[in-house]
Amino acid sequence: MESKFPASTLAFVAERAPQAIRTPPGRHPLPREFITQHQRARIIAALAEETVEKGYRAVTVADIVRRAGIARNTFYENFSSKEDCFLAASEFAVKEALRRVVDAASKVDTWPARVNAGLAAFLHYVASEPALARTCIVEALSAGPAAVDRYERSIQAFVPLFRMGRKISAKGEELPGTLEETIVGGIFWIIYQRIIMGQTEQIEELLSELVEFSLTPYIGAEAAKRTAAEAPPTPAS
Amino acid sequence: MLDLETRDRAASPERARIVEALIEIAAERGYVETTVEMILDRAGLDRSAFDRHFRGKYDCFLSAWQEINEDCMRKMLEAYNSQEDWPDRLRAVAHEIIEGLRHDPSRASFAVEVLAAGDAARARRDMTMRVIASLVDAGRNEMEDSEAVPHTTAEALAGAAYGQIYAKVVRGEADELPALIPQLMSAAVMPYLGIEAALKELGRGSEQPARYRRDVAADSPDKPIDPATTPEGYPPELARLPPGRHGLPREFVVHNQRERLIAGLAESIAENGYSGTTIAHITRHAAVSRRTFYEHFSSKDECFVAAYDTVMAELRERVSAAFDDTDDWPHAVKGGIGAMLHFLAAEPHLARLCMVEALVAGPVVVERYDAAIQSFVPYFREGREGRSPEVLSRLSPTTEEALVGGMVSLISRRIIAGRAEELEELLPDLVEFTLTPYLGSAEAAEIAQED
C-alpha cells in the first residue's frame, strides 16, 4: 500500500465517489452527499491537504478554494465556513471508517474476533488515507473548542463497539466508566504518533498490539493475546 | 544545550514578567490574536525589553511553552519519586498534573492555545508525553514476565489520558478533572497488575497519596540521612552550572578520582536507584573518602550531573565517529545507532544512568536530557537531502525529533527491564524504524537486515 501523502485524499474522495454510484445496492454506498455532490468531496479533500501542510488554524477559505480549483462562491454554496467544512470532513471520515469496521466485523462471529477484524479494517483505512486521518485525529487536538467536540464525537462513534465487551466480561459492570474512551483515545493517539513519525506504511503492523490492548480489560491478557495472534480476514478496500 | 547566558536571561525578572503577560493574554485571546504590543502593555514594558529576550511572538510562545513543560516534567518526576509503590507513584503524577491545571487556569488555557503555534509546540508536548508514557510503562517491572505487555500500551494510555484531560480544559470543566483520576488510574493499572488491582484503584476514588517520601524518610530511623540528599541540600548554584565546566582540563589524579566517583555513582545507582543512593554508597564504591567526594562535588546531584555529562559526551563522540565513518547516509545512520547500542550494552550501569535515572533524577538533568535528544536530530535530518517531493511530503517538521524520541524510549524500556546487555539485538528494528520515512519500508528493511 503506497503512502501517497497527502495526494491520496483527493484520489480517495474524488475518484471513489463516482465508483460508488456503480456499487450494487446493499454494499453500503458512500453517504449520499458524496455521491451527489462531487464538489463537496473535492473541497473536503482540499481542506485535508491544506491542513496537513499548514495546520488547521493557518488554513484559510482562500487556500481551500485555490487547492480545490473552485470559485469562492462554490465553497460558500456548500459550506458556511471553514469550521463547517472541517466538521463535514470529520463526519465523512468517521462514517466511512465506521462503515468499514462494521462491515469487517460482521463477517466473523465472536466479539473478540470482531474487534480484531474491525481494527484491521480501521488501520487499513487510516493507512490508505493519511491526510484525512491526520486532519481528523491530529488537528482535532489542537484546534480549540469546536474541534474538541469533533474529537469527542469521533471517539464516541467507536465507543459502543467496545462497550459490547462488557457483556462477556465477568466484571463488565464494575469496569471504569471511561474505559472505552481510553481504548479508542489510546488507539487514536498511537496512530497520530505513527503519522507524525512518517510511519504510515507501518500502521497496519500495530494490529496485534492494539487488539491485545483493547481486549485485555474485557477478556483478560491470555485470551486477548490468543485473539491478537489470529490473522483477521484481509480488509477490503 | 543551554549556555550560561541563556540561563541568566531565563532568570531575569523582566523576562519572567513578559512570559507571565504572554500566558495571560494568550489564554484570553488565543495564539493568532495575541500581539507583542498586548503583551508589553500588560507587562508594562517597552519594545526594547521584549527584543532583549525574544526574537518575536513565535519565539516568545515557544520559550514560555518550553519552560512550562520543563516545570511540569520536574514536578511530575518529584511526585513520582515521592511514593514507593508504582500505582501510588502514578497516582501522585496524575494529581500533580491535574491540580496544576486546576489551580492555574491561565497556564492550562495557554497549554491548549500554544498548539496553534505549530509543529514545534506539538513536538515539545509529545516529548513530555513520552516521559509520562515511560512512567506508565514502568508498570511492567511489577510483572513476572516484564515483556508480557505490548510496548504501545503505555503510549496509548498516556495519550488517551491526555485527550480526556485536554477536552475538559478546553470546555472550562477543570473542576471535573479530579473525578477522572480513578478512571484513568484504573485503566492504566489494568494491563500490568490485572483486573483486581484496577478495580481497587477505582475504589480509591480521587484519593491523593501522601506527598513527598523525603519527609517520611526523614522520620525513618533505619535510613541514614545525608544532608546532601535532602531537598535543602540542593545547592542553588547547581541549576546554573554550565555543562561545559566538567570538561575543563584538570590534574590527572583529580581527574582520575572524579572518574572513580562517577563510576561509583553509576554502580550505586544500579544497586539502589537514584533516590536510594547516598554519598556513603558512592564513596564506598569509588573507594575514596567522603572528603574527597566533597572536594569534587558539593552534592549527589552535582555528581550525577557530572556523570551524565561525561557519559553523554562519550556516547556522542562514539556515535559521531561511527556516523562519519561512512559516506552513504543510510549506512552511516546504521553505524551510529550500532555504536550507540554497543556502548550502552557494554556499559549497562552507565546506560541506566543516562537513559533511565536521568528521567527519574528529576530537576537537575531534565533539560540536559532534552538537549541530548536534540543533539541526535541532525543525523537524521541529513536524510532529507536529495529526496523526492513525494518522500518529503510525508515527513513533518518534527519527524526527526519523533524518531529520536521513539528510539530512546525503546532503548530505555529494555534498560528498565534490566536487559541492557541485549540492546544490540534492537539494531535491525531501530534501523528499519528510523530509515523508513526516508527510504520506504522495503529499502529500510533491506539495510536493516544486512550484516
Q: Mean pLDDT, to the nearest integer, of A97-122?
A: 95
* pLDDT beneath 70: ranges in chain B: 1-11, 211-255, 359-364, 366
DSSP readout, B66-127?
A: HHHHHHHHHHHHHHHHT-SSHHHHHHHHHHHHHHHHHH-HHHHHHHHHGGGG-HHHHHHHHH
Cβ distance B184 to A178 less than 8 Å, yes or no, reads yes
For residues A113 and B248, the model is more confident at A113
What's B176's DSSP letter? Answer: G
Q: Could you tell me which residues come within 8 angstroms of residue B162 by beta carbon, excluding any fewer than 6 positions away? A: A141, A189, B129
Calculated CA dihedral for residues A143, A144, A147, A148, nearest 10 degrees: 130
CA distance B82 to B76: 10
Cβ distance A57 to B116 less than 8 Å, yes or no, reads yes
Closest Cα of chain B to A225: distance in Å? 9
Judging contacts by C-beta atoms under 8 Å, the chain B residues touching residue A179 are 183, 186-187
Q: Which three cell numbers mark B58?
A: 513565535
Examine the pLDDT at A122 and tell me if it is beyond 80: yes
Other C-beta atoms closer than 10 Å to the C-beta of B32 total 12
For residues A180 and A236, the model is more confident at A180
Closest Cα of chain B to A102: distance in Å? 23
Q: Give the total residue count for chain A.
A: 237
CA distance B28 to B42: 12
Cβ distance A141 to B152 less than 8 Å, yes or no, reads no
Q: Which one of A155, A190, A196 would you mutate to disrupt binding with B, by most B Cβ within 10 Å of its Cβ? A: A196
Query: Which residue from B112, B153, B406 is facing A197, i.e. has the nearest CB?
Result: B406
Query: Which residue from B115, B150, B202 is facing A176, i.e. has the nearest CB?
Result: B202
Q: Does residue B233 come out as left (phi exceeding 0), alpha (psi in the -120 to 50 range) or beta? A: alpha
The confidence score (pLDDT) of residue A237 equals 55
CA distance B279 to B226: 7
Other C-beta atoms closer than 10 Å to the C-beta of B344 total 25
CA distance B117 to B107: 15
CA distance A201 to B359: 31
Closest Cα of chain A to B189: distance in Å? 10
The confidence score (pLDDT) of residue A16 equals 35
- Give residue A90's pLDDT band: very low, low, confident or very high (50, 70, 90): confident
Spacing of C-alpha B382 from chain mean position: 24
Q: Which three cell numbers mark A219?
A: 477478556
ipTM of the complex: 0.80
pLDDT digits (tens, 9 = 90+) for A8-38: 333 333 333 333 334 344 445 555 444 445 7
Cβ distance B402 to A193 less than 8 Å, yes or no, reads yes
- Give residue A215's pLDDT band: very low, low, confident or very high (50, 70, 90): very high
The confidence score (pLDDT) of residue B242 equals 31
Nearest CA in chain A to B167: A148
Query: Which residue from B186, B399, B406 is facing A176, i.e. has the nearest CB?
Result: B186
Closest Cα of chain B to A3: distance in Å? 8
For residues A75 and A236, the model is more confident at A75
Closest Cα of chain B to A25: distance in Å? 36
The confidence score (pLDDT) of residue A21 equals 36
Cβ distance A196 to B126 less than 8 Å, yes or no, reads yes
The confidence score (pLDDT) of residue B194 equals 93
Q: Mean pLDDT, to the nearest integer, of A164-181?
A: 92
User: Which class for B11: exposed (0-12), middle (13-18), buried (19 or more C-beta within 10 A)?
Assistant: exposed
Q: E strand or H helix at B151, and its extent?
A: none
Nearest CA in chain B to A222: B148
Q: Which one of B110, B142, B186, B433 would you mutate to disrupt binding with A, by most A Cβ within 10 Å of its Cβ? A: B186
Instruction: Give long-range contacts, CB 8 A cutoff, 24+ apart: A97-100.
Output: A97/A122, A97/A125, A97/A126, A98/A157, A98/A158, A99/A28, A100/A124, A100/A125, A100/A235, A100/A236
Query: Which residue from B155, B199, B406 is facing A189, i.e. has the nearest CB?
Result: B155
CA angle A159, A164, A166 (to 5 degrees): 105
First to last CA, chain A: 11
